[in-house]
């Protein structure tokens, strides 16, 4: 059974098959403490009193003053003893801590989490045939659909040519967190591998705030905790990440350097399903490299190690 640390030195059971849900009350306190440690008094307009501070960032009483709550109330929250926390209080704390929208959402999930029957997500993940048809029609544009737990649910031929042929990967292995952290080929593929690995782990943290006792999530976290030191470090940091947009630079084994922009679009029938589309600026070297990949296809790239074994 694997164990990871929660950032304060406390071991957390992450063993697959244990059946133990993630304790959202403990997570709430740990998340608040980790975010409080990031904010200096000067950042929020407070004079720093005293020469020495026992803890980095804001003291508990400073955060309480900024959020307009009592120190006793904030202490109970950080000890996992808070109950029926109002949205107004959570939003006030989020503003005081200068949380991002994604972090504030995670804080709300943790503070107001209601366990679901059997600890399972509300619906089985299925990609609509129309969405699969849309992927197939997007010629020359790498695109795929992700779901819960960073699972890769559907993709088009260009995505396979760029990232590896996921048809040759067992269904249970088609997961961004698992691929990035456990397959060395993906470390070589992404120029900023550390950034993408942190985003994948942050996405798992965000998901855990919604479904803390999802058995498949617990199994995945347990597996990664046992097999990846990087995962333990990133998970202990308690950072969260949502779907966004930006650029990705890759070292492709066939065409070399490829720098692409990407957009993440939530599907209307299931907001946990996200269509991720990559594109290159017209006339750029990346656009030419994508054209070459499109002409060769995924079947002609057996050297594309991310799609193969670890």
22-73 confidence digits (pLDDT tens): 777 788 888 888 888 888 887 877 766 555 666 678 988 999 999 999 998 8
pLDDT tier for residue 5 given thresholds of 50, 70 and 90: very low
2-6, 75-79, 114-118, 155-159 — which is least confidently predicted?
2-6
Give the whole-angstrom CA distance, residue 307 versus residue 184: 11
SS3 7: coil
| Residue 119 pLDDT exceeds 80 | no
Task: Supply the mean pLDDT for the chain.
Answer: 82
Strands (DSSP E) contained in 210-269 are 245-252, 256-267
pLDDT tier for residue 269 given thresholds of 50, 70 and 90: confident
Give the whole-angstrom CA distance, residue 128 versus residue 106: 28
Query: How high is the pLDDT of residue 204?
Result: 93
- For the record, the structure tokens of 257 come out as 């350097």
Average pLDDT over residues 156-168: 92
Distance between alpha carbon 51 and the CA centroid of its chain, in Å?
A: 38
In terms of pLDDT, which residue wins out, 164 or 305?
164
Kindly list the domain boundaries of the chain, sorted by start residue.
22-114, 129-307
Other Cβ atoms closer than 10 A to 49: 9
N- to C-terminal Cα separation, the chain: 22
Average pLDDT over residues 111-134: 74
Q: Are 116 and 122 in contact (CB under 8 A)?
A: yes
**Long-range CB contacts for residues 43-49, cutoff 8 Å, separation at least 24:** 43/98, 44/96, 44/98
pTM of the model: 0.76
Per residue in 85-109, pLDDT (tens digit) is 888 888 999 999 999 988 888 888 7
Other Cβ atoms closer than 10 A to 257: 12
pLDDT tier for residue 113 given thresholds of 50, 70 and 90: low
Query: How high is the pLDDT of residue 20?
Result: 56
Per residue in 224-254, pLDDT (tens digit) is 999 999 999 999 988 888 878 899 999 998 8
Query: What's the fold here for domain 129-307?
Result: Beta-Lactamase (3.30.450)
- Please state which of the four CATH numbers 3.20.80.10, 1.10.260.40, 2.60.40.1940, 3.90.1150.10 is assigned to the domain occupying 22-114: 1.10.260.40
In terms of pLDDT, which residue wins out, 279 or 9?
279
**Same fold: 22-114 with 129-307:** no
| Residue 135 pLDDT exceeds 70 | yes
Give the whole-angstrom CA distance, residue 266 versus residue 263: 10
């Amino acid at each position: 059974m694997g164990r990871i640390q929660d950032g304060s030195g406390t071991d957390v059971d992450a063993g697959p098959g244990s059946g133990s849900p993630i304790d959202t009350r403990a997570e709430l306190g740990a998340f608040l403490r980790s975010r409080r440690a990031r904010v200096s008094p000067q950042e929020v307009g407070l004079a720093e009193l005293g020469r020495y501070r026992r803890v980095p960032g804001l003291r508990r009483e400073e955060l309480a003053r900024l959020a307009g709550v009592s120190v006793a109330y904030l202490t109970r929250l950080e000890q996992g003893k808070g109950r029926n926390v109002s949205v107004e209080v959570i939003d006030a704390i989020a503003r005081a801590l200068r949380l991002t929208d994604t972090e504030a959402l995670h804080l709300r999930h943790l503070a107001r989490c209601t366990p679901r029957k059997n600890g399972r997500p509300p619906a089985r993940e299925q990609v609509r045939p129309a969405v699969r048809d849309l992927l197939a029609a997007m010629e020359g544009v790498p695109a795929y659909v992700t779901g819960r737990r960073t699972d890769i649910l559907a993709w088009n031929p260009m995505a396979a040519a760029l990232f590896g042929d996921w048809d040759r990967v067992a269904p249970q292995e088609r997961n961004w967190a698992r691929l990035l952290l456990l397959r060395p080929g993906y470390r070589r593929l992404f120029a900023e591998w550390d950034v993408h690995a942190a985003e994948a782990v942050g996405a798992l943290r965000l998901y855990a705030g919604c479904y803390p006792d999802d058995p498949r999530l617990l199994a995945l976290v347990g597996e990664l905790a046992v097999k990846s030191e990087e995962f333990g470090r990133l998970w202990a940091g308690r950072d969260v990440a949502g779907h966004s947009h930006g650029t990705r630079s890759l070292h492709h084994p066939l065409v070399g350097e490829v720098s692409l922009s990407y957009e993440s679009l939530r599907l209307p029938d299931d907001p946990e399903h996200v269509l991720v589309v990559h594109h290159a600026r017209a006339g750029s070297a990346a656009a030419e490299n994508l054209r070459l990949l499109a002409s060769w296809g995924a079947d002609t790239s057996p050297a594309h190690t991310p799609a193969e074994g670890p």
